[in-house]
Chains A and B, each alone.
Chain A
Amino acid sequence: MEQNLKRSIILDNYQNPIGKGLIVDDTYKKANMKNESCIDDINMMVKVEKGIIKDIRFNAEACAISISSTSIMIKLLTNKTVEKAKEIIKNFENMINERPYDKDILGEAIVYDEIYKQPNRIKCALLSWECIKKTID
């Protein structure tokens, strides 16, 4: 994907993220994730019904990469089965960590396919993906 297009997808998801804002609802599973660098901090809530991810919401104090990656993940995983979601997450992690991956199931998330070139941002891209695993594992 061309760099300018990647940038505009990331920026759009950062400035208008999907799923922003938590609600009070006990049927959701909740999780928190912090970046070890002591900055990024994300709260997530996930509703699973009959093995399908129905809704994902979050709030976060985090950088552009973290927030945009959360938004893209939410679009990608909503209405997927938990099994499929886990497959997508695994592929995303493989991509970030420079291992073989299936790009056809990652949709917009391939905008981070070169993030390994900035090692100090890898954790930012992975943060929400690590976080959601806590709720569906």
Chain B
Amino acid sequence: MNIRSDFPILKTNLIYFDNGATTLKPQCVIDAIVDYYSNYSANAHRGDYAISHKVDIMYESSREEVKKFINADKVSEIIFTKGSTESLNMIVFGFFKYYLKKDDEILLSKGEHASNLLPWFKLCEEIGCKIKYIPSDINFEVTIENINKMISNKTKVISLAHITNVVGDVRPLKEICKIAHSNNILVVSDASQSAGHMKIDVIDLDIDFLVFSAHKMCGPTGIGVLYGKYCYLDKLLPLEYGGGMNSSFDSLGKIEYKNLPHRLEAGTPHIAGVIGLGAAIKYLTKIGMNNIAEHEKMLKNYAIEKMSKIDNVILYSNNIDSGIITFNLRDVFSQDTSFYLDQYNICVRAGSHCAKILNEELNVKNTCRISFYFYNTKEEIDKLIEVLKNSNDIFKIVL
């Protein structure tokens, strides 16, 4: 099976190593979206006519796909949002705003993406709860031991990325949930960097809330998922009110709400996005999540081994399990490195990767990040290595 031929963009000589930012799209996902807009572009949950009925079937079957994909208990626990950011904001301002009290503590890490920090900052401003950061160990990883140290009788929630987007460490979510629950603490996880890269089983993890975005797993932009255990999700107050989420209302302002999941999906949804996400999940499942994880790990080890032999390459994360490599060229600003690689059609990300307080721990503000996916190859890494080896002349190329 030649996976690369599934991706139209790979027919060019592009070497795409920025999968942490977004992934490329396979033809089957593009086709599913075009099929909706070309052949049955009616609204959802509306008409009795045939193409509207087909929309309902396709829309809800995507929800079924998501449920299977993360092994949720019920389809009503799957809410479609515009992405992880919206999902996290709904969790923070629709649930924890009412669940937490003044002085209650939230445990986060400094390696979190802005989307798992800023909503909590705002909530603290609003209701007076407090953020505590779990210190990371020498490999910048969050350990159970350090979490244990930070738990107090005021700790009510732990919110962590499953895999961080800069260092790429995989957090031991199952053990975290176990410790948290034995202390009456809820756990939220941002699975943006993991959902498309490894098998996630929300029942096995026993996670309370989990979010991810479709575009980081071969799906379209503008669509994502909010998963919550039914008992908590049912208490999450909608942040948006309007059509599709009410069953009736009167002129006195009395509203009767629909049940989950529809109560949390006001307005016409991103139908094409949901259908595209369904197609992406089917595609990933066909390839196999474990195969994806293994391939990425193989690529990462291969690249680390070669990169560590290049004198002017500084590596920041060697021992982590995901397909993310963070590095700099000695005495070269990360952005100049990414411009340099771009001259050879190699796409990497430079910057602080939206984790702007991580530099307090990494002691370096800006880095280059390579993030692999299953369509990347050893040959692409060989090309990268060759270009990095020749980087003594970098300013001849970028200036």
Please, how many angstroms separate the alpha-carbon atoms of A61 and B396 in the complex? 21
Range of interface residues on chain B? 10 to 19
Min C-beta distance of B395 to chain A, whole Å: 5
| CB–CB A11/B395 < 8 A | yes
Known A-B contacts A39-B335, A40-B335; the reply to A11 vs B399 at CB < 8 A is: yes
Known A-B contacts A39-B334, A39-B335; the reply to A65 vs B399 at CB < 8 A is: yes
Tell me whether A7 is interfacial, beta carbon within 8 Å.
yes
Per a CB cutoff under 8 Å, which of B339, B352, B365, B396 touches A63? B339
Tell me whether A22 is interfacial, beta carbon within 8 Å.
no
| CB–CB A10/B399 < 8 A | yes
Tell me whether A121 is interfacial, beta carbon within 8 Å.
yes
| CB–CB B350/A64 < 8 A | no
Min C-beta distance of B327 to chain A, whole Å: 16
Per a CB cutoff under 8 Å, which of A7, A38, A118 touches B351? A38
| CB–CB A7/B339 < 8 A | no
Tell me whether B336 is interfacial, beta carbon within 8 Å.
yes
| CB–CB A61/B395 < 8 A | no
Known A-B contacts A62-B333, A63-B333, A63-B336; the reply to A38 vs B395 at CB < 8 A is: no
Chain A residues with CB under 8 A of B352: 38-39
| CB–CB B351/A64 < 8 A | no
Please, how many angstroms separate the alpha-carbon atoms of A39 and B334 in the complex? 9
Tell me whether B194 is interfacial, beta carbon within 8 Å.
no
Tell me whether B314 is interfacial, beta carbon within 8 Å.
no
Please, how many angstroms separate the alpha-carbon atoms of A14 and B352 in the complex? 21
Q: What is the count of residue pairs linking A and B with beta-carbon distances less than 8 angstroms? A: 40
| CB–CB B365/A61 < 8 A | yes
Please, how many angstroms separate the alpha-carbon atoms of A38 and B356 in the complex? 10
Q: From residue 87 to 135 of chain A, which have CB atoms closer than 8 A to chain B?
A: 118, 120-121, 124
Known A-B contacts A63-B333, A63-B339; the reply to A39 vs B398 at CB < 8 A is: no
Please, how many angstroms separate the alpha-carbon atoms of A120 and B335 in the complex? 11
Chain A, residue nearest B366 (CB):
A39
Q: Mark B328-367, 1 if CB is under 8 A from A, else 0.
A: 0000011110010000000000111010000000000110
Tell me whether A27 is interfacial, beta carbon within 8 Å.
no
Chain B residues with CB under 8 A of A62: 333, 335
Chain B residues with CB under 8 A of A40: 335
Chain B residues with CB under 8 A of A118: 339
Listed residue (B335, B339, B396) with the most chain A CB atoms within 10 angstroms of its CB:
B335
Q: From residue 345 to 398 of chain B, which have CB atoms closer than 8 A to chain A?
A: 350-352, 354, 365-366, 395-396, 398
Known A-B contacts A61-B366, A65-B399; the reply to A38 vs B354 at CB < 8 A is: yes
Chain B residues with CB under 8 A of A14: 395
Name 18 A/B residue pairs within 8 A (Cβ), A-sorted.
A6-B399, A7-B395, A7-B399, A10-B395, A10-B399, A11-B395, A38-B351, A39-B334, A39-B351, A39-B352, A39-B366, A40-B335, A61-B333, A61-B365, A63-B336, A65-B399, A121-B339, A124-B335
Chain A residues in the interface with B (C-beta under 8 A): 6-7, 10-11, 14, 37-40, 61-65, 118, 120-121, 124
Q: Please name the 10 residue pairs, one residue from A and one from B, whose CB atoms are nearest each other, closest first.
A: A63-B335, A39-B351, A7-B399, A63-B333, A10-B399, A63-B336, A39-B335, A64-B336, A11-B395, A38-B351
